[in-house]
Structure 1
Amino acid sequence: MKYLPILIAVILFYPDSASACSMYKITKNGKTIVGNNEDWFSPNTQIWFVPKGDNPYGVMNVGFENGFPQGAINEAGLVYDGFAMPYLEIKNTDGKKEIPITELIPFIMHKYANVKEIKEYLSTVNLSYLSSSMLVFIDRSGEYLIVEGDELIIGNEAEKSFSNFYPSQNSNPEEVNIPFYQNGLKHLKTSESKANLDYCSSVMNKFQQTITQYTTIYDLEERKIRLYHYQNFDNYIELDLIEELNKGEHQLKIPELFPKNTKGYQYYIMYNDADAVVEHYETRWENESINIDVEAKNLLKKRITQSIAYIATDWAYTKKDDEGAIKIYKLILKLFPENQEAKKTLENFIETKKKQ
């Protein structure tokens, strides 16, 4: 679920610009390993541990600085992840409980151990806010639950991969039009699958994109987590869930867990400096728009515009830095003054801030 509040704001202006992510699980000989790539523009990623307290299970959450869990694992070996999706109407809502999504995920992860229990619980909840999202839960046994629209689907295949498409509407994954996902499927078809951290890491390496901010690999039996940063599969750290929870409630910033000379850390520094963001995209447009045909230039313009819009929206609504957000958003008009949608959005944002 790609940085949910930010995504909603950006899609209003750029409805075809949602990014994608991926997830893979394998169960063999009683062991389940799960991998996830988190694809987004913001490098402000973090892990936070919440001991069980009065709940049955403690939880490790993974996500961004807005504090909403994009993924999680609990002490029972239950893993969760979410996906941004095309709109799918949810009709089965009459008489169901009203529970905000910000409360729903933590409640499930602190309370439940298996997907059958989660399915029973979710059947009582109004999930209308998931009309553009899909949730996936995988438990220690290897069973999974897909939450999509009005469908709550239990499955237990030995191997299963997920991305930004609805499984109930796409019976053949090889026909899904997501290039990076197809790249991962090719690797699965040509490699010997093994239920270990190394093999799952190799799969997620093939599923990665240029905006993959981090990769988490979970051993649900041992409750160990391997963490990679920013498409770099040469270096990783490993965490023991139980050991970390025993330290009490605490938070780790993912970029700061890795060497400062890496590409990921440099992107992290650039992203958090508005002037550096402006310089980066000015230089990128200047260098990449030379000697390319009209079609390629229009595609580059679209991608750069979307990237800048994502970042400006993040600065406005998460970092809550209006000055930085306006500076970044003005770059769209500097590079592409004919962009009337960007002009209108910027004017509306400035006017809204004046009234506050």
Structure 2
Amino acid sequence: MKLETSQPQTKPSSVNEYDVVIYNIDRSSSDLKYGRGRICNKHVDEDSFKYDIFAIDYGYFHKMVPEDFIWECNEELSALPPLALHCQLANCAVIGGGAWSKMSIDAFKSYVGNEKAKILILEKTFEKLIVELKNSNPHDISTLMALTHFSTLGYVHNAISRMPTIVPKKKYMTYKNINVNDILQVRVQSGKSLEAFYVADVNDYRNFMKECDNITYYTNKESKLPEEQFVVDTLVCVKSYTNKYERAIITKIISDTRSIVKLVDWGKEEEVHIKNMRPMPEYCLKIPVLAIYCSANEIHTSYCQSIHRLLCPGFEFIIQIKEVSTKFESPNIIKIFPLKS
């Protein structure tokens, strides 16, 4: 309630995809109402920008929000976990298949009403919670919908299934879009030679650091990594010495309990025990991989005598992309320039 009635003053220096911002979520009302939102898309509208924003505490989208309605979300607020949970009713399917009718949707709204309800989490998929929903009605909402002929009971896509033959949905991470001749200010993440090292775009790094607590929060909700998923190429989150979780991919199995993983946001490889691994949550897949794999074939002469300093983690410089690679399979060929003084 405090956030909804706040009067934000600070405008963000830049607005990028995946940023958490404060925005006016009730533009049609004379009473201003503010909330947290995650930037999903950016649109050019004549000489200004507009954004598609997901309201992380309410669970819906706002399209084409003007820059004038967006303010900076401070670090303390952006670190708070989103309030909205994405749910699906278990055993509740459209009669005859297809899309839900307006009558069925209206019936669901009527049965749920405005009263408090209880959910029982029956299953968790990569995208949502599969739940049973109960309130003061004599039956749970799915059963009530079926009894009044607005739905049918039964297993539906993405609903409960304990059959061992079901194969989990393949997880994929997103990567930063890089093009030839792009010029980026970067910081070193890891590396020992100019033939193979990792950097991160400075702006992406700042945004990523705001997400670290969220990554740990969502990973803590996951169970321990199942033995059948302890295989090469599985995306996992691994616990660091600070008890926070880092995103990684299993690259080599050493024994029944230990493997080598690549920390995708740092470019480093580490040996990790299975007890310190958890499946990577869906939330983490939406954050682009931070590390950019590089190889420098040209370097400014002022750096020639200071390679060790150049590859020190956190050191910043400018790069120009000369050749583009694919993910971590081979390095991007770059040229290095010093920061302008």
Q: Give the TM-score category using the shorter length.
A: under 0.3
Higher gyration radius (CA): 2
Normalising by the residue count of structure 2, what TM-score does the alignment of the two structures yield? 0.25
Higher helix share: 1
The higher-RCO structure (CA 8 Å, 6+ apart) is 1
